[in-house]
Structure 1
């Protein structure tokens, strides 16, 4: 809880800080990477730094946390911070790194705001930072302990025991621990980090949803080759360089968007490569003989681009109360087009007590979420997984 004195100061200065936060975060990253170039080279996603999404995500999280402290001072911030904590744990973030962030963030705040931020205001925002950092450090410590790991020690060698082409752009890598150790459990919907050394010497990390059921000796990740500027450095490197028998450095599974243990209706809505956590959830439901009502909704460019189309049909067929709805922007064989264009829930039955899981591009998730809310599904029952920095889907 923010102190009474700091609450008044933060409330008074929040408009100024909020207006400047998108200017502060780029300065912060510039300062931090100048002092610690290894962080950009070996930890932070260079693509997200280049396109600015990491800065926008950081700005949004700071503003949201400060607003929560002011508007709901008695509410624990766990739900808001859980996604960040899982992402940090997947990267092996440690408590010491929060001190590095603090130093350069407050240097950036001072540089951007200048005399507009006096000593009293700086102290109040310092309190905000350490409340947020302290909560994250505690949550991440619990995640490490729950996984049986020493803080930050998440990495193990995993051998590629198979590589399966799903589409011309998507390949599944079947992984098994190369150190002979146990296969860590995971919950359907979680992801792992993969760390690779690129040709320029940088060790870059990306997260990939696990696309298998949480049993057996293997763990599968399904990776899409990414074009664009910048292109997907790690994803494309995996496609071009990794074959059966190779060894990858893979982190422990984390992620807070996981299939619940209830028996109520479920909606699994995805677009593009967002189908990866959904096929894991479907695989689990089929493997456990679930009788839950399950609605699968997926949108893609075409049948050719749709990963796991045949597997999804097979899994849906194994579930007595499951149905699938698929949209293609540009239909082509071998499957007939069920629906053409973008996903549209207007003709899909959605129970009010459904629990929905969304994964795909932000515009897709925002559209599906708004449709669900309009149809009476509570926001607390709509969960989403975002590949990359979390920019939110409610705005």
Structure 2
């Protein structure tokens, strides 16, 4: 809990800090990367940095955490903290990096707010930072221990044993451990980080959902090639590298599996709604439901530009048909086939059983729209779970 004195100071200064937090985080990253260029080269997503997404996510999480401390001091925002912690451990972040972040973040705060940062204000916001940092460190070290790896040592060599073109822009990569040891267990819905060395020597990292069954000895990821400003533009440099420069036989550095969007084995009805490449975590969930003989109703919903753009479309429908009580409905903006919906996903005539557990993945506007429709149908907000590919701009905007 935030001390009473600091809580009063944070409450009084939160409007000013919140109004300037975007400028603060932008200056923070400039200072951090000037002092530690290796972090931008080998840890942070350069595409997200160029687009400003990471700055917005960091600003939003700090403001949200501080607001939570002063408005709900009896609770902790575990959803936000767990989501950040899972992403951090998939990148190999360790406790030693938090003092470095603190140094440059508070230099930025002082530079932006100037004389408003009195010793009392600095002390209060330092307390906020370390409450958040220590909460994350605790979660992260537990996650490392659960995977039986040393903190930060998440990487393992995996060999690409097959490539399958799913659509013009999506390719599935089949991976097996290069050392021949068994593949680690994962939970349906989780992802791995993949690190590749790019032509300029940078070792960039991206996360990809695991699409196969958790018990399979082969791991599969489906990578959508992102078209940036150029064929190998910064927004899609890793996805393009994987598509163009990673043939069968290539050895990749892949992390242990992480991610907090995990299918709960409750026996309750399930609704899986996705759009675009957001279908990937849903595939492993469906595999698991089929393997475990799930008997409660399962509703599978997906929206895409067209059937030709729908990666893993045949698997998506076939896995639903393997379940005892499941329906699958797809919506397409163009070239919809008989039985498919046209345009955006419309849940007006989609029945939703009481107690349904909902899992969403796709672009943020899509997930917001589907969530609103589900809440209007009586689904509890606590039963709607989601995954954002990239910085979590949903939490950052709440």
Task: Give the TM-score category using the shorter length.
Answer: over 0.9
CA contact (8 A) 1:331 1:337 kept: no
The residue that corresponds to 2:126 in the other structure is 126
Q: Structure 2: how far apart are the matches of 1:191 and 1:388? A: 12
> How many angstroms does 1:378 deviate by?
1.4
Conserved? CA contact 1:328–1:337, under 8 Å: no
Equivalent residue for 1:304, pick from 303, 308, 315: 308
Quote the Cα distance in structure 2 between the aligned partners of 1:313 and 1:118.
60
Q: Do structure 1's residue 218 and structure 2's residue 218 form an aligned pair?
A: yes
TM-score using structure 2 length: 0.97
Aligned residue number for residue 24 of structure 1: 24
d(CA) in 2 for partners of 1:181, 1:97:
31
Could you tell which deviates more after superposition, 152-161 or 162-171?
Answer: 162-171
Q: Please state if 1:339 is matched with 2:341.
A: yes
Q: Provide Cα deviations, 1:28-70, integer angstroms capped at 9, x if missing partner.
A: 0000000000000000000000010100000000011001111
Cα RMSD of the aligned pairs, angstroms, is 1.1
Match of 1:39 in 2: 39
- Deviation of 1:287 after TM superposition, in Å, equals 1.7
Structure 1 residue 337: deviation in Å? Answer: 5.4
Does 1:294 pair with 2:302? Answer: no
> How far is 1:180 from its partner?
2.0
1:200-279 equivalent positions in 2, closer than 5 A: 200-229=200-229, 230-279=234-283
- Tell me, in whole angstroms, the C-alpha distance in 1 between the residues paired with 2:266 and 2:220: 25
Matched, 1:316 2:320: yes
Cα deviation code 1:194-242 (max 9, x no counterpart): 0001011111000000000101211110001111334311111000011
Q: Please state how far the C-alpha of 1:243 moved relative to its aligned partner.
A: 1.4
Corresponding position of 2:391: 389
Q: CA deviation at 1:352?
A: 3.2
Give the structure 1 partner of residue 199 of structure 2: 199
Please name the residue that 2:166 is paired with: 166
The CA distance in 2 between the partners of 1:337 and 1:246, in whole Å, is 41
**Shift >6 Å, 4+ stretches:** none
- Conserved in 1, the CA contact under 8 Å of 2:270 and 2:297? yes
Whole-angstrom distance in 1 between the partners of 2:180 and 2:313: 33
Correspondent of 1:380 among 363, 382, 386: 382
DSSP 3-state at the match of 2:308? coil
CA distance, structure 1, for counterparts of residue 126 and residue 235 of structure 2: 37
Deviations 1:242-285 (A, max 9, x none): 11111100000000010001111111000000000001101111
SS at match of 1:97: helix
Contact 1:102 1:129 in 2 (8 A): yes
Contiguous gaps of at least 5 residues in structure 2: none
Residue 139 of structure 1 deviates from its aligned partner by 0.3
User: Shift of the alpha carbon at 1:389?
Assistant: 0.2
Q: Give the aligned partner of residue 78 of structure 2.
A: 78
Deviations 1:284-311 (CA, angstroms, capped at 9, x unpaired): 1112221121001100000100111111
- For 2:69, what is the secondary structure of its paired residue? helix
Summarize deviations over 1:353-384 as a string: whole Å, max 9, x none.
11100000111011111111222211111011
